[in-house]
Chains A and B, each alone.
Chain A
Amino acid sequence: MTKTILEMRGITKTFPGVKALSDVNLDVREGEIHAICGENGAGKSTLMKVLSGVYPTGSYDGQIIYQGEEQHFKSISDSEHKGIVIIHQELALVPLLSIAENIFLGNEQARGGIIDWDETRDGARKLLKMVGLKEDPDTLITNIGVGKQQLVEIAKALSKQVQLLILDEPTASLSEKDSQALLDLLLEFKKQGITSIIISHKLNEISRIADRVTVIRDGKAIETMNTEDITEDRIITSMVGRALNDRYPKRTPNVGEVVLEVRNWNVFHPQHRERQIIRDVNINLRKGEVVGIAGLMGSGRTEFAMSVFGKSYGQKISGEVFVNGQKVDTSSVDKSIRNGIAYATEDRKTYGLNLIDHIKHNTTIANLMGVSRWGVIDDLAELDAANDYRKKTNIRSSSVYQVVGNLSGGNQQKVVLSKWLYANPDVLILDEPTRGIDVGAKYEIYTIINQLAAQGKAILVISSEMPELLGITDRLYVMNEGRIVGEMPTSEASQEKIMRSIVRAEGKAS
């Protein structure tokens, strides 16, 4: 019988008007990997913020018992002193400082305020070895990829003598390979006796590494399952409160003539003139068709889409774009939109939304022409449009005057979709349309995609989740290192087949 390291009892946390957590109980055993899952806005992150002292004692009800003692954390540094370290979804690294400096940030290896650089580098090297990262500790954070940054965060946690490591969606922005490495690392830590709590949307990962899973729904802990009971279906049922027989809504494709054709597309890196990012890409999309681009992280999918959409990425772009058989000018975003192309970004917070403004203004911003005459906006026409699309995409909010930054990820994504639907494009490029959103909202997004295809729009979906591509598309392109290395009807595709085209292309390249 293993010891309980952490017990949270009857945790209740209210925000003005919302009960974020109500009477949540959580037991974590020493040395286990404990997964927490739930839909977006279910209260997972809030619970972890209560635990780590982001919400200080007194701002919530309930007890936290850690290592046999009741704790009253007033701040993050209190919980870190006890060995509880949380790694947030948005990494907290300073881009222009080195790996070593970041690892010891706030915990500098110093004597009397003077930093001992030898100590810092040695310490960093030791920690990097533990997380399996082969980088010089003097490398700047900005020069390493997200996967490696994640490892630096973990090294930083280790430097604080971590006993309970909390990871909030650690693999959300990692490639398949980096994710695997990270999960292996967690299993390694487990052997060394470090307890981990992992929040994740990726059910396959949870079933792979977690010992137990607690499901949270609507601010309540629904159940805690043991390894042997964990199945994806069981977790999903528990998360959404109903059985999702089919994760992808059915549709019967009705494919027409070619709407978009991109020919001989070449793009070079925006800073390094010599580095070619996209090589001779040719693709086409038909009316009513949903086409996917599969590929690993860094294969150039986003770069391709953004370079087509108003030359928003790269330089020395060459190639031709045809919409409905006509060659069109896509040299600016504005012209691309007018020629019927829309691109919904993979990073809605940075590139997609004005988070401090409300739904109404975000909905119409890409098509102000539609609600104005002679540059004067018709207030009520705009309100009509915003309400209309709020209903169509099923955005859950009190009204169209709700500020977008306060919405959950899934609802934010629906606002992004509303914006592009209102621009009424012929071709809609969706880059990671369901990243970081929960199962229920994903289903709604798929339903919207199906409706759009049924209306005759051509849709290009970029996604890192292969099951998703296989579930919703009609045809697939496989991209690797800036080239199209495979094309297949989805009915004939499988994850193995996609991986095989990537690997075969790698073999050819080297």
Chain B
Amino acid sequence: MTTETAPTGTGSAAQPAQAHEMTLIGALRANMRDYGLLLALILIMLFFQYFTNGVLFKPVNLTNIILQNSYIIVMALGMLLVIVAGHIDLSVGSVSGFIGALAAMLMVGWDFPPELAFLAHPLIAGAICLVAGAAIGAAQGYIIAYHRVPAFIVTLAGMLIFKGLSLAILAGKSVGPFPAEFQMLSAGFIPDIVGPITMPWLAENGQNVVLHSTTMVIAILAIVGMVFFSIRGRGRRLARGYDVEPFSLFIIKNVVIAALVLFFAYMLASYRGLPNVLVVMGVLIAFFVFMTKRLTFGRRIYALGGNLKAAALSGIKTERTTFYIFAIMGALAALAGMIYAARLNSATPKAGQGLELDVIAAVFIGGASALGGVGQVAGAVIGAFIMGVMNNGMSIMGVNIDWQQMIKGVVLLAAVFFDLYNKNRSA
């Protein structure tokens, strides 16, 4: 998770030590919003760690949190683009449910004649589902972008249509179980190529801690990569004579992120290692961060969300960009639908209903603006985890579902309120 840090002040080597300290505080303040959200997540986790008597940070529970929220995060990535572009997509829950149903029917429900039996193969069926999701998104996007029907209405209609369609193709019943290969998407973990390491000195209650070492190797490689790129980036900025963040902050930031990554990798490794779905999620998150920060496509989304008319008069093909955004959202909803179905190991007519609200809430908690033009991938992911950790923590504490809903509503409201309050104060 790299966040573009605005260079602050005129921090240069020539300045005296006192000024250097000032710029450290200045740099922290300038990026307060980015760090604030991560800090909030950590505080919420520590809060539940205390009130669940240490259950939250148990390796098995952390793994569960990731599995439970993977489909929300996958959809939040697409929803971030949609919301930054100034639109909304209410259909994603129903679409993900419909695609889950489609996957179930392809693999289990329908009896294909022998020459079409290949369609039931999990890989082929998965590919069909992704394409179907993208096509659904594209169809909605086409109406929104080229015929200028408000996204709220188009996707509200889509929500009803696909809710009905899942009921129809499942004939009102649950369909399952899925083939084992398909279940691996949500229930599987990456194989331990390096081989497990037993750590007897960490034994607890007579049970040895056995580490999934491949997970640790991947984490360490990721940290090395992160440090390499941030040092290289800093070097390049310095070489061209641009301001960089204070060296102390640079070190602190890298050390803190590395420590967090190592800690979570260790937790996962001492259970069953990296879940397959986390690998998929990680790749997607990295790609979406790259897309929004570095691809011209991503830049154009922010431009058209910030001022549609100005973007159009700057030569941006606003219709086409909007169309692609919804197609991407559709494909991600399809992937989420498959993850969800694989996790439940069956497709149910009610699957996915209401998920769109969790996804939208995650994006707004993550700091996106309902007016468009503002929002970060990292924020949306952290927003989804904040919701996820709260769900998990409150369930473990035995908080009733009615209270859970109310508390989540208050947190959403408070997060957006706090964000706006901060913005107004700094403006």
Contact = CB atoms under 8 A, between A and B. Distances in A.
Contacts of B296: 368-369, 372, 375-377
A462 to B, nearest CB: 15
Given A355-B306, A356-B306, A365 B299 contact: yes
Contacts of B317: 332, 334
A343 B312 CA distance: 12
A293 to B, nearest CB: 19
B306 A366 contact: no
Interface string A383-414: 11000000000000001010000100000000
Interface in A325-348: 332-334, 336-337, 343, 345
B303 interface: yes
A380 B236 CA distance: 8
A71 B2 CA distance: 52
B295 interface: yes
Contacts of B306: 354-357
A493 to B, nearest CB: 30
Contact of A337 (B236, B294, B302, B315): B315
Given A333-B315, A375-B297, A380-B236, A399 B7 contact: yes
A354 B299 contact: no
B100 to A, nearest CB: 33
A388 to B, nearest CB: 12
Contacts of A350: 307, 309-310
Interface in B359-417: 369, 373-374
A354 B294 contact: no
A365 B316 contact: yes
A380 B299 contact: no
B237 interface: yes
Nearest to B425: A16
A365 B295 contact: no
B310 A352 contact: yes
Nearest to A345: B313
Contacts of B6: 401
B303 A361 contact: yes
Interface in B281-300: 294-297, 299-300
B311 interface: yes
Contacts of B242: 380, 383
A175 interface: no
A333 B308 CA distance: 14
Contacts of A355: 306-307
Nearest to A419: B314
Nearest to B304: A354
Contacts of A16: 426
B295 A376 contact: yes
B240 interface: yes
Contact of B313 (A312, A368, A375, A406): A312
B307 A380 contact: no
Contact of A357 (B7, B295, B302): B302
A376 B309 CA distance: 24
Contacts of A354: 302-303, 306-307, 310-311, 373
Interface in B230-260: 236-237, 240, 242
B302 A361 contact: yes
B299 A351 contact: no
B240 A384 contact: yes
A352 B299 contact: no
B315 A377 contact: no
Contacts of A353: 307, 310
Contacts of B236: 380
Contacts of B294: 376-377, 379
A399 B30 CA distance: 14
A323 to B, nearest CB: 16
Nearest to B317: A334
A375 B295 contact: yes
A99 B374 CA distance: 36
Nearest to B306: A354
A372 B136 CA distance: 31
B315 to A, nearest CB: 4
Contacts of B7: 399, 401
A268 to B, nearest CB: 20
Nearest to A353: B310
B86 to A, nearest CB: 11
Contacts of B313: 309-310, 312, 333, 343, 345, 351-352
Contact of B311 (A332, A365, A383): A365
Given A376-B295, A377-B296, A379-B294, A351 B309 contact: yes
Nearest to B313: A351
Contacts of A343: 313
B309 A368 contact: no
Contacts of A352: 310, 313
Contacts of B299: 361, 365, 368, 377
A350 B313 CA distance: 11
A81 B237 CA distance: 57
Nearest to B296: A368
A303 to B, nearest CB: 14
A253 to B, nearest CB: 29
B4 to A, nearest CB: 8
Nearest to B314: A366
Contact of B312 (A333, A357, A379, A401): A333
B257 to A, nearest CB: 20
A375 to B, nearest CB: 5
Interface in B3-49: 6-7
Contacts of A368: 296, 299-300
Contacts of B373: 354, 356-357
A401 B374 CA distance: 15
A357 B303 contact: yes
A16 B311 CA distance: 31
Contacts of A365: 299-300, 303, 311, 314, 316
A310 B307 CA distance: 18
A482 to B, nearest CB: 22
Interface in A282-340: 309-310, 312, 332-334, 336-337
A406 B297 CA distance: 26
Contacts of A372: 296
B422 to A, nearest CB: 13
Contacts of A401: 6-7
A389 to B, nearest CB: 15
A398 B124 CA distance: 55
Which among B294, B299, B302 has the greatest number of chain A C-beta atoms within 10 A? B299
A16 B374 CA distance: 23
Given A365-B314, A366-B314, A377 B309 contact: no
Nearest to A367: B315
Contacts of A337: 315
Contacts of B312: 312, 333
Nearest to A383: B242
Interface of A: 16, 309-310, 312, 332-334, 336-337, 343, 345, 350-357, 361, 365-366, 368-369, 372, 375-377, 379-380, 383-384, 399, 401, 406, 419, 423
27 contacts: A332-B317, A333-B313, A334-B315, A343-B313, A345-B313, A350-B309, A351-B313, A353-B310, A354-B302, A354-B303, A354-B311, A355-B307, A356-B306, A356-B374, A357-B306, A361-B299, A365-B314, A365-B316, A366-B314, A366-B315, A375-B296, A376-B294, A377-B295, A377-B299, A383-B240, A401-B7, A406-B427
**Shortest 6 CB-CB distances between A and B: which pairs?**
A354-B306, A366-B314, A334-B315, A368-B296, A337-B315, A354-B307
Given A351-B310, A368-B299, 10 more contacts: A332-B317, A333-B313, A336-B315, A351-B309, A353-B310, A357-B303, A361-B302, A376-B294, A380-B240, A383-B240
